[in-house]
Amino acid sequence: MKIFTLLVSLLFLFTTSIFAQKTYSVTNLEQASQEELNIYLDKALKLKKDGKTVTIVGGATIGAGVLVGLVGPKNLGTVAVAGLVGIAGLGTMAVGIPMRITGKKRVERINTIKNTAYDGIKIDLKPCAQYNLVTQDYQPCVTFRISF
């Protein structure tokens, strides 16, 4: 039962991260409006801040475990409590560090897209094909797009 619960949890985490990667991909961010970019930036900043907080809590928990192990009475119960608190702190840091790194990368990616959004006028020439009703076939053409 423990293995099943672990596998379901991992599947849930991977599924969630896959959808998040699509949202924060460069192509999606380039197509997003400024309002959407601001929403994505707020979420990324919150993730970065939460990751920092969780990392600090994990470090404090590890410190508390070490402190309990050093100051407490030297019996098996104290050592077990100190070990469990230390393991909990390591687990918390193992969650917090990737959260902070992911948030930081997302913030950098969004800021890069936002900074290049107002580079002036962009002109795109792309090949295309249009269907001609008279000749009943496709005619080659060029699409000219100006964005500012």
**What's the whole-model pTM score?**
0.64
pLDDT on residue 119 = 59
Tell me the per-residue pLDDT of 24-78, one tens digit each, with 9 for 90 and over.
777 788 888 888 889 999 999 999 999 999 999 999 999 999 998 888 888 888 8
Question: For 82-130, how does the pLDDT look when each residue is reduced to its tens digit (9 = 90+)?
Answer: 999 999 999 999 999 999 999 999 999 999 988 876 656 777 888 888 8
The structural domains of the chain, with segments of one domain joined by +, span: 16-120
Angle at alpha carbon of residue 42, lines to 38 and 43, rounded to 5°: 120
Give dist(CA 96, CA 51) in Å, integer: 4
5: its two tokens: 């619960």
- CA dist., res. 33 & res. 19, Å (int): 19
Please name the amino acid found at residue 52. K
Q: What's the CA gap between 128 and 135, in Å, rounded?
A: 17
Contact 98, 129 (CB under 8 A): no
